[in-house]
Amino acid sequence: MYRKSLLLAALLAGVCSTAQAELKIGVVSVPQLMEESPQAKSAMQALQDDFMPRRREIETQQKELKAREDKLARDSAVMSEAERSKVEKDLRDGQRDLARRQNEYVEDLNVRRNEELGKLQRTLLQEVQTYARAQGFDLVIGDGVLFAKDGLNITAAVLGNLQARGKTAPAAAPATAPKPVDKKP
């Protein structure tokens, strides 16, 4: 990744000095967009809302198993051997069932989170491209940037467009954010 950034910087420097061309370059912090955009917050809230009932069921099952364990520890001295064995077997079965349900929950949550992150990344990419076209950028760089002057960072402007679009509206209309300061590399 570091080599790609250096190669890109060298290439851009060569293009600018040789052709005397003025490139309009912007830098976007994708992690910041993923963190702060209303679309990201909405997707994560929807994910929490969808998985909350299952999480509560698992928590309830955990509490029930804990209560049964406590009861066994408290009453095992007065139980018959057969009764204690049955309760211990029921506890093991309950713990296995709980572990299975927890694993399924985590797997389902991860699959769904990855789906939502994929949708979000596509929305953010589309918004960055829309903004860059509308503002006349020749190049927008995202991940792998080691340094960029403040004037090159267009993250706030793209984030402003995302916020203007609302929490769930698709990023399809042209960007209308104020034009950032154009600095030459």
pLDDT tens for each residue of 71-97: 999 988 888 899 999 999 999 999 999
Residue-wise pLDDT for 28-50, tens only, equals 999 999 999 999 999 999 999 99
pLDDT of residue 89: 95
CA 145 from centroid of its chain's CA atoms: 20
Beta-carbon contacts of 73 under 8 Å, excluding residues fewer than 6 positions away, are none
Longest CA pairwise span in the chain (Å): 92
8 confidence band (pLDDT: 50, 70, 90): low
3-state secondary structure of 167: coil
- pTM (two decimals): 0.65
Please list, residue by residue across 124-140, b when 16 or more beta carbons sit within 10 angstroms of its beta carbon and e when fewer do: beebbebbbeebebeeb
- Asked if residues 19 and 144 have their Cβ atoms less than 8 Å apart, the reply is no
- Asked if residues 39 and 123 have their Cβ atoms less than 8 Å apart, the reply is yes
Section 143-150 average pLDDT: 73
The Cα–Cα gap between 131 and 157 comes to 8
Tokens, residue 179: 């034009």
Residue 180 has pLDDT above 60, yes or no: no
Answer left, alpha or beta for residue 7, where phi above 0 means left and psi between -120 and 50 means alpha.
alpha
% residues pLDDT > 90 (the chain)? 56
CB burial of residue 161 (10 Å; 0-12, 13-18, 19+): buried
